[in-house]
Amino acid sequence: MALLWVFGVFLMFLFRASALTAPTILADPDEVSNLTSATLTCNLTDPPSAIKGHYWTKNGKEIVTTRVESQATHTEYNLPKIDHNNGGKYACVFISTEEFSKTIEVKTPPHVSAYKHSEHGNEKDVGKLTCVSHSYPLPNDWTWYLISNGEKTPIVNGTEKFEIESTPEKTILQVFNLDMEKDMGDYMCFGQNEFGMASDKIHLRVRSRFAALWPFLGIVVEVIILIAIIFIYEKRRKPDEITDDDDSGSAPLKSNSSTNHKEKNVRQRNSN
């Protein structure tokens, strides 16, 4: 029992000693939400040894421009504009015999963007529409709507026609057995977090199953027309060439006959 008591006292001593030497970082503000700008501030108290420097991180990655060699126990990071691009987990880090940090969350309303604002698919195939978010915190709920005649109709997940697959970062709507008359149109994705809701629109075009053949058929038609033009041209050109050949061939024959006749007359005169 005595040994256990001594061991317990020793542990308590170590705990108090560590509590006394552990530095405290006061952040102001502790959390940023629904603000258009902010200055993040950290103050370090009771450092175990001299401070060698400090820097800031965002989502675990160092913001390189913030690293400073200094013995100061105070640091600031300015956010002149807060939107979905710079929301996240920021941390001030002080460098001493070891590193000490404090996290400040910068939260923003959700931001939703269509991966493509125009998608297309062929009849009877499956259409895929995708929306993504890069805000912090990410949406905790996704919903889809079909816009018809200016009215939004909610899309029910898990039917023969629709299936929705969602993660905090993105949502995918699959439309099965595409129909040109029923499925073509505008779709809207909505993402929601604790600070609000955002949406974006995607236009879905549905083509005939034979649409993919049109380029090939166009090439075939062009080849047929080209062959027909060449055939007609050759057919018209050949008679002219034959006439030219006959004319050029007959001329030498006439010339030879005239020459032979003259030579015969000369011989007859000489003999006389």
| pLDDT tens sequence across 51-71 | 999 999 999 999 999 999 999
Q: Which helix (H) or strand (E) holds 41?
A: strand 38-45
The residue ranking higher by pLDDT, 29 or 271, is: 29
Domain spans in the chain, listed from the N-terminal domain onward: 23-107, 112-209
pLDDT digits (tens, 9 = 90+) for 151-203: 899 999 999 999 999 999 999 999 999 999 899 999 999 999 999 999 999 99
Residue 164 and residue 159: Cα distance in Å, rounded?
10
Residue 64 and residue 126: Cα distance in Å, rounded?
45
The residue ranking higher by pLDDT, 45 or 234, is: 45
DSSP 8-state class, residue 68: B
> How deeply is 120 buried, as exposed, middle or buried, from its count of CB atoms within 10 A (0-12, 13-18, 19+)?
middle
Q: Would you state the CATH architecture of domain 23-107?
A: Sandwich (2.60)
Is the pTM for the entire model greater than 0.85?
A: no
CA trace torsion 189, 194, 195, 198 (10° rounding): 0
Whether 7 shows a pLDDT value over 50: the answer reads no
Within this chain, domains 23-107 and 112-209 share the same CATH topology: yes
Q: Which helix (H) or strand (E) holds 217?
A: helix 214-271
Strands (E), 49-140: 53-58, 61-62, 74-79, 88-95, 99-107, 112-114, 118-122, 127-133
Q: Are 88 and 134 in contact (CB under 8 A)?
A: no
pLDDT confidence of residue 257 = 52
Residue 3 and residue 120: Cα distance in Å, rounded?
78
Share of the chain above pLDDT 70, in %: 76
pLDDT average, residue stretch 225-247 = 69
Spell out the CATH class of 112-209: mainly beta
At residue 48, the 3 state secondary structure works out as coil
Q: Are 264 and 256 in contact (CB under 8 A)?
A: no
